Structure 1
């Protein structure tokens, strides 16, 4: 099988789901490549995954800073709500339309121009060009679902994708959506339960991950260990760092815990004193470290949400944008933690929420139950087998234990 994976040129979209799938598929003897912007080639090489660098496909830095691309794609020109720690709600509808519109069209054209004919295409949820390509070529397409917000936006994205299909000169049907979930079904919003194609377990932590700093081994062993990470994007938005870090540091300082605060290369944004129990680092092996933690304070991006559940760790969520509020609601609904309002939370709110989750056995018990449930899901080896069993052209029949279906 020739398996083509397509992704937006962003590590968080690519490395945590598609890279493990590529590695598993290649180990099973299949030919695999990732089609994305050339800016991701070096990172993919670290994981020994072939990159089909697409000419003319913009990288994320260009999309965020080039005003011509902002106009061409219809991206929002203002992100943050004045005086708030959240973005304009309407912005994410604009992003959905841009991803399903001109951005998808550019990638689809670049892929169709390649001398590389796939048998199956798998995309991460924000990359829709792969589905357009599959529709033109008459082959199967599956979305590896690590962003449930995208599936919830289908009433907006489906008409836009049909328009792009016409732009490609194809007047047939748009390939029917199929999802491969990476958590148990109940961890996704209930609205997606009837449309999911199957559920699989992501392999363990990747190789070539950052090392834990040796000095972090000297933390007090008689106190709970808390990990706080706000992801790769939130602190880069205008004003977010200074607005968030002050109450966060104050709240963490009130805890009788050892706290590791990872800032993704942005530790220079800390302007004031750091409490003695807070240990700041830029990068760390998050998925592996979570297994040693008692609490995870998270922005509730889907990858962080999944890693917390995989480790069986209760969470306190500080969601800001995109799918984060959806995932934070799931944290509460599943009984594995609490959600705070990022616009209004105070240092006391944060410390009190952490104390409640740490002292109540319920969130830990519920997180461990989901951790065990995850272990019952078939692995990516089964996902690869199910992908190989998808018939060509697009008519599907039920597959075996992975249950990938239309």
Structure 2
């Protein structure tokens, strides 16, 4: 079997992971490197590589790996009978596992075990020590048992492997977990074409019963917009902070007003710097007519906003300096124009041949011309 065939077979295989790798965690080099010594008393100084001996992982790493393997086996067995496995039992055995790791690693959690956010705190502090195999299985269990706060903790703290996102996004869409889909967009480093297509289809033409799950996203944007207005009105702010607060209030007002809840969710995808243009183009090319119309109208809204508010400027600094977290997720004019370009590149023939798109395109053409003229005049 050729190497290419091995790779192809591995990519086609959809069998779930049944066992852990031998060394699933990042080993501590401080306990390994000092013990390495040349295998021969007189190593060959000319050779680029000389064998060494004395490689041995630390006792702590070895114990943590064993804990992970035992927990993986236990959780994997319980997930085979999900009807006999409930959320409370899952939280209990997960806490026990992470507490054992905490004892081995000597990490302080800083929160009482009776507190509501205890398991989330354990994941934040010790998730990286679980190992990717255990983390993947824990993610599966969280989705099956719908412990969504733990799913969010795993995503936010970077414990979801790239290969897991395709399945995760599809499951979140099926469960209509709009907030967590937005969290995936914000934290996934490299979403694939299938994930982006799934997200686009969901937010461009959401099921009727999905709107309720988008309420929290809308509330967050509303809360941030009101907070920005309060900051802009605060006479205690002066100089650069006062200007930043004013810019943030304009940008947030622009990003919030006139957009539906699904469109507010799309802001995250439009503003993301982690989405590859080639992958995005591939996803856009697979949208149907209804979805394309929704996307064109959404992008048209943004062009109209930037035409109406030319004073709007990027204000991502407001995220750290004013605590306005969504400011770094407000699409820039450049983002909007790039998406418009991709839409035209991928769907030009369809847009020209179908009259229902013509009015929207003429409107966009007028706004783009206006923005281009303004850019030339201000240059």
Q: Which has the higher helix share?
A: 2
TM range (shorter): under 0.3
Identify which of structures 1 and 2 has the higher relative contact order when contacts are C-alpha pairs closer than 8 Å and 6+ apart. 1
TM-score, scaled to structure 1: 0.26
